[in-house]
Amino acid sequence: MKKILLFVSAVMISSFLNGQKLTVIDDIETENTSLDVQFRHSFDGGILFSILKKFESDYTYFTTDGTVENTKETTVNPGVHSNSNFDGNYDVGDGYIYYMTRINTGEKIYRLSKQTLDIELFTTIDLPSNEYINGIDYYKGYFYYTVEENFYRISLQTKEIELIADLGFYDAKGVKVYKDKIYLLADNNDGFYGLFECTGTAASIKLIKKIKPFQGISDQTIHWFEFKDKLYFTLYFKTDEPGTIYYTDGSENGTGALIDIHHNSFFDFYNVFKIGNLGDKFIFFEHVPNGGLHDCRIYASDGTPQGTSELLPGTILKNRAANIEIVNNQCYFLSDNTLYKTDGTSSGTMQAHSEYIREFNFIGESLYYVSEDALINKVDKSGNSSQIKYNGSDISTYDELFKSGNKLFFTSSINNDRRLIVLEDTLTLASNGQALADIILSPNIIFQYLTFNESQIGHELIVYGSQGIRLMQEPITQSSIDCSKLTSGNYFLILIDKKNSKFYKSSFTKL
């Protein structure tokens, strides 16, 4: 008898580990399949996304934590047009996530409450026509930013804007906080573009090193990224000379050029200058002009010029997609709808999946991808494939698989209505948690209701039959759950304490 119970228990746990939970958000724009949905940002516990209705020009913004109850239109509609976008994702530790978006008269900064998921306008930065904020970052109670040659800050407490310094340069870009200092890129007013640092005052601004002769810096975004003990950044000008990736440790001797790459590689339209860290290396992509296509080459670097090289010399990756993912020290990316992976070496750069893929992402070590027919599929770490279904029916997606925490967000048409769908992999929940611990239900022989103690309210309940088939899954919101739909017999259950990443198993009998 004990052997039989052990076998059944193993089947039950296996079924649990290979399941997915799908949540369909039912309260956004029903009876409408002509929506442009854009996923903006992820934050602790949820995402910010927007919808654009057909024949309208302004986006409506929503927030969600992946549940129906906490999905809602934001309290303030930013009122920005379809070609605008929220930039930044600043968590300054005060319970808000800060965003910035361009308007006709300047820039607006919004903040999103992580507790209520509400958005409110923080402040508006008025700017002259055709002038933009060139870079912004948070440092010790202030947002610091540049507009042309001027250096400003905004207090989070008073919301007052203060001019720190008229730098006297032609143009300043960048603003990056790293190792308790603010870094700037600017014209040194002597014909050279340089790297500067400061600690938030005019008197503290100093030149670290002259970088290269100034020839009119491009208006495109400057990319900053941290690797090991150095700060890396890109710089390129309005001419057709190559762009350059630089590095700095904050000293003149510790600042230099890593590698030159094509000047269009940093152009936002192509969106191919993506970076992924692989432990002792990082991966980046160089754009190869081809009539607007996203063709590129792939490089790996250990952070030094001599340790930077092309992984597949002479190979052009055709029409590479923007998304890359790092899993188990492997960088995954799409080229011409084929999934590749690399460990940072030429021999370790190879095709990872043979099927045509439109879009992909990972939850844990499980690959989720959108096939050519727009259906969503899963491949677990053992190579087992399955198709994601909703109530036994196929579901397709219009948009990317947007990841936040251990959830994927996408949209699909269900009963001719456009729906936001949240996919959660229970395998990831189990693998991220501790071993399944035994608990004792009292009573464990029931007629209709399973009862729980106060500490178990808020957990997720999954009930399995004797053959390992999942029969129920729902949150525990009160001290008892009705099991009248279950027939008489023996059942196994798992309680998931998501807050503390703990998992418990037990059994009960229904008379």
Angle at 310 between CA 305 and CA 316, to 5 degrees: 150
Structure tokens at 52: 């654009």
- Map tokens 């009930």 to a residue: 463
pLDDT at 177: 94
pLDDT at 468: 59
Structure tokens at 203: 């008197």
- What is the layout of strands, in order, in the sheet containing 172-178? 172-178, 181-187, 192-198, 206-213
How much is the CA Rg of the chain, to the nearest whole Å? 26
Reported as a single tens digit per residue, the pLDDT across 103-127 is: 767 788 999 888 888 888 899 888 8
Distance of CA 254 to the CA centre of its chain: 32
Burial of 393 (C-beta count, 10 Å sphere; 0-12/13-18/19+): exposed
Cα–Cα nearest to 8, from 489, 501, 502, 496 = 489
pLDDT at 21: 79
Reported as a single tens digit per residue, the pLDDT across 474-495 is: 888 888 888 888 888 888 888 8
CB atoms under 10 Å from CB of 110, counted, come to: 22
pLDDT at 77: 66
Reported as a single tens digit per residue, the pLDDT across 311-349 is: 999 898 988 877 889 988 899 999 999 999 999 999 999
CB atoms under 10 Å from CB of 347, counted, come to: 8
pLDDT, mean over the chain: 81
Helix (H) or strand (E) holding 48: strand 46-53
Cα–Cα nearest to 17, from 329, 436, 388 = 436
- Cα separation, 396 vs 296, in Å, equals 29
Cα–Cα nearest to 276, from 223, 234, 225, 314 = 225
pLDDT at 16: 38
List the domains of the chain with CATH numbers.
434-510 (2.60.40)
Residues of the chain with pLDDT under 50: 1-18, 268-270, 430-434
